[in-house]
């Protein structure tokens, strides 16, 4: 009896258009299957629908993305069996190789965790969970929003961190359609008169729309938490009035100001909290919470001619904050802040080599975005390369000559 062989297609790393599928000849397939029993690692996993109590999905295409030294090295394709299981044999087992499995379900791409090759583990397991879609935002909330006010060399920067939580078991795809046909999944209020908007983590150019007083995200929001960071400038004045508008239920909102700059913040419902310290810098904290959609917060910033603190150019956007407010605890994830000018004009004047490298990276990211929009690069490869270049840009920013 001839054993059943799962459908397997090899997808080469060379450019083949959007799909890039290159079927193997029969002889090559036999050789690949024979070799895989003797060489390479085995990757197994299961695809389940987490919305439906992790019901297994059968006959679903699974793509295994392979990376070597952080660069795409091709991919393999298979299908799940009746129990939702899949298996790949003969996966490259070179050092510095890592893999991840991805599944396209209802037009949305889901990925497993990335796994690095381990010679001590001949088999790697990568499970993928998918979710049903919903147009209801009932389970969407902003768990916290933090804003860091930084006055430097007569320039006022507001750097922001949002943690958005989908508490449900469905992927939120939005209900309201924009003029371009995309659906709005998250709206973030921007103050009147802001300029030089800089987007960092969480945002993708393909799925972000900038309006005069709002930033709109059209990327789906999957169950769990997502982080968004961005920054903008305001024209500094001795006394500056800002109106902050909230479009999603917001459990906690906090403003942080460097103590060394003497900035004062007042606002309706905003209460001063205990100062915090991070990396040798002290910050004053002003907080409120339990804000409903369409709520507005009138803020006033007083800037007493603060002098720029050279240590504040590379402070954290995601500073660890613990402020009790009616039983709610703020907890921001610790991580280095990218300079608000990381993509755009820099407040400081770095050395020529530094500026040349930074400009090249920014241009490479823009070119990568255009290639992805034109369908010249697969999404997994696009995301990984873009994240790598942004990480490089952030590390470069931390070496800015002072």
Distance separating alpha carbons of residues 220 and 204, to the nearest angstrom: 12
Q: What pLDDT, on a 0 to 100 scale, did the predictor assign at position 315?
A: 42
Top-confidence residue, 357 or 61: 61
pLDDT digits (tens, 9 = 90+) for 254-275: 999 998 888 889 988 899 998 8
Task: Output the CATH code of domain 140-341.
Answer: 2.60.40
32-70: pLDDT as tens digits? 334 433 457 899 999 999 999 999 999 999 999 999 887
**9-130 CATH pick, 3.40.50.720, 2.60.40.1120, 3.40.1500.10, 3.20.20.150:** 2.60.40.1120
> In degrees rounded to 5, what are phi and psi of residue 185?
-115, -20
Token couple for 384: 């990984």
Q: Helices 379-398 and 352-373 sit at what angle, rounded to 10 degrees?
A: 160
pLDDT classification of 25: cutoffs 50, 70, 90: very low
Say whether 140-341 and 9-130 share the same fold: yes
Q: Where are the domains of the chain?
A: 9-130, 140-341, 354-398
CA dihedral over 278, 284, 288, 294, signed as positive or negative: negative
With beta carbons less than 8 A apart as the criterion, state whether 217 and 230 touch: no
The predicted pLDDT at position 331 comes to 33
Cα distances from 379 to residues 63, 122, 184, 240, 372, in angstroms, run 12, 28, 21, 43, 7
Q: Reduced to 3 states, what is the DSSP secondary structure of residue 373?
A: helix
List, for residues 315-351, the tens digit of each pLDDT value: 444 333 333 233 333 333 333 333 333 333 333 333 4
Task: Say if residue 65 is exposed, middle or buried (CB neighbours under 10 Å; 0-12, 13-18, 19+).
Answer: buried
Confidence of residue 304 (pLDDT cuts 50, 70, 90): confident
pLDDT value for 366: 67
């Amino acid at each position: 009896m001839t054993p059943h062989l799962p459908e397997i297609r090899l997808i080469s790393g060379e450019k083949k258009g959007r799909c890039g599928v290159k079927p193997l000849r029969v002889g090559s397939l036999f050789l690949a299957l024979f070799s895989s029993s003797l060489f390479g690692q085995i990757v197994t996993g299961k695809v389940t629908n987490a919305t439906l109590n992790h019901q297994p999905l059968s006959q679903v295409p699974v793509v295994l993305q392979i990376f070597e030294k952080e660069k795409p090295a091709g991919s393999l394709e298979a299908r799940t069996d009746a129990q939702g299981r899949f298996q790949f044999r003969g996966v490259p087992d070179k050092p510095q190789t890592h893999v991840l499995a991805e599944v396209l379900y209802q037009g949305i791409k889901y990925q497993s965790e990335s796994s690095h090759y381990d010679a001590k583990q001949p088999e790697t397991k990568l499970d993928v969970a998918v979710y049903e879609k919903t147009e209801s935002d009932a389970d969407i909330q902003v768990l916290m929003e933090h804003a860091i006010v930084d006055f430097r060399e007569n320039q006022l920067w507001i750097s922001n961190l949002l943690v958005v939580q989908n508490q449900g078991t469905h992927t939120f795809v939005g209900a309201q359609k924009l003029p371009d046909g995309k659906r709005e999944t998250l709206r973030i209020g921007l103050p009147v008169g802001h300029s030089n908007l800089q987007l960092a983590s969480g945002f993708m150019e393909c799925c972000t729309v900038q309006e005069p007083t709002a930033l709109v995200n059209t990327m789906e929001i999957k169950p769990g938490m997502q982080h968004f960071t961005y920054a903008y400038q305001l024209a500094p004045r001795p006394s500056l009035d800002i109106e902050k508008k909230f479009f999603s239920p917001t459990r906690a909102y906090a403003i942080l100001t460097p103590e060394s700059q003497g900035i004062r913040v007042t606002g309706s419902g905003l209460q001063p909290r205990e100062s915090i310290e991070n990396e040798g810098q002290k910050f004053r904290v002003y907080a409120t919470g339990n804000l409903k959609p369409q709520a507005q917060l009138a803020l006033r910033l007083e800037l007493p001619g603060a002098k720029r603190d050279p240590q504040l150019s590379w402070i954290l956007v995601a500073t660890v904050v613990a402020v009790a407010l009616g039983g709610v605890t703020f907890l921001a994830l610790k991580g280095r802040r990218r300079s608000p000018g990381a993509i755009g004009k820099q407040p400081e004047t770095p050395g020529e080599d530094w500026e040349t490298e930074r400009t090249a990276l920014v241009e490479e990211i823009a070119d990568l975005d255009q290639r992805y929009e034109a369908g010249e690069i697969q999404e997994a490869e696009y995301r990984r390369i873009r994240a790598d270049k942004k990480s490089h840009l952030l590390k470069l920013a931390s070496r800015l000559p002072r």
